[in-house]
Amino acid sequence: MSAIAGKKLLGLAGVLGAGVVVIATPVRAQEAAGNPSAGRLETVIVTATRLEMPLSEVSRSIAVIGRQEIETIQPQSVPQTLAYQPNITVAGGPRPSVQSVNIRGLAGGKVLQTVDGARQSFESGHRPSYFLDPELLRSVEAVRGPASSLWGSGALGGVVAQNTIKVDDVLAPQQRIGGFLKTGYNANDDGSTSTGAVLGRAGSLGWLLSGYYRDSSDIEMGNGEKLHGSGSHSHGGMGKLGWQLSDAQELEFIYRRAEWDGNVPANAAAEANDSSNFMIDRNQTTDNYNLGYRLNGDSDLIDLQARAYYNRVDLDETRRSDGRSDNTRQDVYGFNLSNLSRWSHVTLLYGVDAYREEYDARRGGSDRPEPPDARTDVWSAYTVAEIPLAAAWNLELGMRYDDYQTHARNLGNQTSDSATSPSAALVWDAAQWLQLSLRYDEAFRAPGAEELYSTGYHFCIYPGFCNAFAPNPDLKPEQAANTELNAKLVFERVAGADAIHLEASIFENRVNNFIEQVVVGPFFYPEMDAGYTTWVNVDDATLEGGEVSLAYLRGGLALKLGYGQVRGSDDHSNEDLTNVPADTLKADLAYTFDSLGLLAGVRYTYAASQNRTDYAENEAATNYDSYGVADLYASWTPAALTGLRFELNVNNLTDKYYRQAWEQLYQPGRELVLSARYQF
């Protein structure tokens, strides 16, 4: 660990020590999280760690957004559900369809996503990567920090685990059939949303059918201008069937389909133009099949889970100016099997993962890129052990081995490699009110088929003078090694509160072999040469920082504060890294008026200026200004109208014209969002 990180450890220890002096009536963190008397710190079970356990016992830094909070946010994309969490930002600009998640300065394919336990791995140029509509969510879990020992390739920055709604989320324990209808309106983009679901139980069977429809026009920015090409139409649905085969066995089948169409720039995170970022008509369709089985018998040695899944992503795009058509398709076939065994106080999870990605793309017109016709095969084995060392000490060990190969069928070329991803954590229940954990995790991201094997032309200056793609089958995987200290404190009935929950993390993440696209040329002297474009391994870099979150609960009052800070630099040149978010403070103050069935609150986000932009390509010396944005929200459940609930949001209350660090586009202006939901 670097000297800087060591100083931060001492600084954090001082902060925690100061907190101990002030607050004098502690309770054990695990007890408070599951104790109804400890305010509203409910027991939250997380699944992103592949070990179902209470959040209070997890040694990783994880943000969990439940269904009720999702309802109060009224997000238009999955990334927006995480917008108020420290050290997590929404990347990709204001267009919801192309938004992604930045965790601690790493984004895109460096953050893995899963849906109901099945990995999602579509990545192609500037195209979308999150396809689940937030109306289908029951919760989102975001693991901050590398997690390849659990999930393999892609988890350098973390994992976003998305969990869809279940029958038990809507039906009461004795209810046989029910459902809900919801409609919403966004005054900013004249957007409308309609959602409905019907659910039922019949003996050992449970089932769910749901659907949604979204329609919106162009987004209005804080300066009153419209963002051309930001409207869209989408619809989709989900079906679930659960079958309790016996007391120990259960089977679940999930099918989801989503369709989206609209006209956007080819790079929807930037302004459209007529020379390079052309407007296109995009139609995308996704189909997802997920079959899960669980056997949890009387023996402590057997708690087995198996999952098979198939994901298909199909994008058809047509350039509006000349009718050039592109098609991009990916098919993923996956399977995982795991078992959880317990001996005395030792817990051991072990399993295998395997998946195949079939990637196929066609580019219309001449002088265009030619993506590979490629197949990637991956098989993996992993294990995680929790071992008690003493009364207050626990050791967690993890290891995963991945073997992968990519075959470009159009080029007759094949690349193969393997990776091991170890992890270790030492957890100390230092006191009834304090848990400390020290973690070390390694992670990797294997290069994708496009990065390895793209051919054709990147761009042409004039006919016959074109910069061409050059394949690079020797690309190494991106690698990360993260050291992290986490602290969790929970207090009951102190400082006038029902409960106070404080969590802090500091980290140092060393990332090697970043994969970047480089453009060489064109050259006009002494010889004419259009040059080439390829992907190469570049910087070795260090990302370090931390986040702190505080929850104060007293009666109907809930106050949440979160602060995140990340620093990133190239280890060789000391240049600043791009995509590192600004220092950000996030606050959420809410009050519940029980007699009125009303929850009212305000969220405030302050981002400091980002002037750590010293890198060679920043010839214009671009910096990003600070900003503060307030959002109001309210939920009302009228007692006289059983089953009815209203949600109101006023986002960007002051209609501020601002943009986040590293983004090219400005964020939406004031949004008035209203929805009504009827549950029966």
Q: How far apart are CA 348 and CA 303, in angstroms?
A: 11
Is pLDDT at 25 greater than 80 in this prediction?
no
Comparing C-alpha atoms, which of 79, 188, 196 is closest to residue 140?
Answer: 79
Tokens of 273: 């133009």
For CA atoms 678, 39, 80, 622, the dihedral sign is positive
> Mean pLDDT throughout 380-405?
96
Is pLDDT at 32 greater than 90 in this prediction?
no
Q: Are strands 369-370 and 455-462 parallel, antiparallel or unpaired?
A: antiparallel
Residue bearing the bigger pLDDT, 369 or 356? 356
> Mean pLDDT throughout 525-537?
90
pLDDT for res 28: 31
pLDDT for res 571: 93
Specify the range with the lowest mean pLDDT, choosing from 158-162, 285-289, 452-456, 562-566.
452-456
The reply to whether omega before 522 is within 30° of 0 (cis) is yes
Mean pLDDT of the chain: 91
pLDDT for res 521: 86
From residue 86, alpha-carbon distances to 407, 481, 503, 563, 601 in Å are 40, 21, 11, 5, 19
pLDDT for res 382: 97
For CA atoms 50, 54, 56, 57, the dihedral sign is negative
Q: How far apart are CA 395 and CA 346, in angstroms?
A: 10
pLDDT for res 464: 84
According to DSSP, residue 669 is labeled -
Tokens of 490: 């929970």
- What pairs with residue 360 in β-bridges? 329
- C-alpha R_g of the chain: 25
pLDDT for res 43: 64
Is pLDDT at 481 greater than 80 in this prediction?
yes
Residue-wise pLDDT for 605-621, tens only, equals 999 999 999 988 888 88
pLDDT for res 407: 95
When pLDDT is cut at 50, 70 and 90, the band that residue 46 belongs to is confident
Of all helices (H) and strands (E), which one includes residue 300? none
Q: How far apart are CA 337 and CA 47, in angstroms?
A: 15
Contact 479, 512 (CB under 8 A): yes
When pLDDT is cut at 50, 70 and 90, the band that residue 276 belongs to is confident
Q: How far apart are CA 278 and CA 320, in angstroms?
A: 8
Q: How far apart are CA 359 and CA 189, in angstroms?
A: 35
Contact 188, 671 (CB under 8 A): yes
Query: For 324-366, where are the E strands, in sequence order?
Result: 325-343, 346-363
Residue-wise pLDDT for 452-469, tens only, equals 999 998 888 888 899 999
Which residue carries 């990519």 as its tokens? 406
pLDDT for res 342: 93
Is pLDDT at 54 greater than 90 in this prediction?
no
Q: How far apart are CA 562 and CA 82, in angstroms?
A: 12
pLDDT for res 18: 31
> Mean pLDDT throughout 471-499?
94
pLDDT for res 27: 34
- Out of 3.55.40.20, 3.30.360.10, 2.40.170.20, 3.40.640.10, the CATH code matching 3-485+524-679 is 2.40.170.20
Tokens of 211: 């659907």
> Mean pLDDT throughout 575-584?
94
Query: For 145-248, where are the E strands, in sequence order?
Result: 158-164, 177-186, 191-202, 205-216, 219-220, 226-227, 232-244
For CA atoms 81, 85, 88, 92, the dihedral sign is positive
Q: Taking phi first (over 0 means left), then psi (-120 to 50 degrees means alpha), and beta for anything else, what does residue 464 get?
A: left
Comparing C-alpha atoms, which of 567, 490, 425, 634 is closest to residue 25?
Answer: 490
pLDDT for res 500: 95
Q: Residues near 375 by Cβ (< 8 Å), separated by ≥ 6?
A: 356, 357, 358, 359, 406, 407, 409
Is pLDDT at 426 greater than 80 in this prediction?
yes
Is residue 73 helix, strand or coil? helix
Q: How far apart are CA 546 and CA 510, in angstroms?
A: 14
Tokens of 367: 């002088």
According to DSSP, residue 382 is labeled E
Is pLDDT at 298 greater than 80 in this prediction?
yes
> Mean pLDDT throughout 576-602?
96
According to DSSP, residue 580 is labeled P
Residue-wise pLDDT for 631-680, tens only, equals 999 999 999 999 999 999 999 999 999 999 999 999 999 999 999 999 99
Instruction: Using alpha carbons only, give the angle 218, 213, 89 rounded to the nearest 5 degrees.
Output: 60
pLDDT for res 42: 56
Helix, strand, coil tally for the chain in percent (to 5): 10, 55, 35
Is pLDDT at 589 greater than 80 in this prediction?
yes
Q: Residues near 291 by Cβ (< 8 Å), separated by ≥ 6?
A: 251, 252, 253, 254, 307, 308, 309
pLDDT for res 430: 94
Contact 453, 411 (CB under 8 A): yes
Tokens of 472: 């690079």
Query: For 392-452, where are the E strands, in sequence order?
Result: 393-408, 413-431, 434-445
Is pLDDT at 590 greater than 70 in this prediction?
yes
When pLDDT is cut at 50, 70 and 90, the band that residue 366 belongs to is confident
Q: How far apart are CA 390 and CA 384, in angstroms?
A: 19
Contact 181, 645 (CB under 8 A): no
Residues of the chain with pLDDT > 90, as a percent, come to 79
Residue bearing the bigger pLDDT, 57 or 488? 488
Q: Residues near 425 by Cβ (< 8 Å), separated by ≥ 6?
A: 59, 60, 395, 396, 437, 438, 439, 440
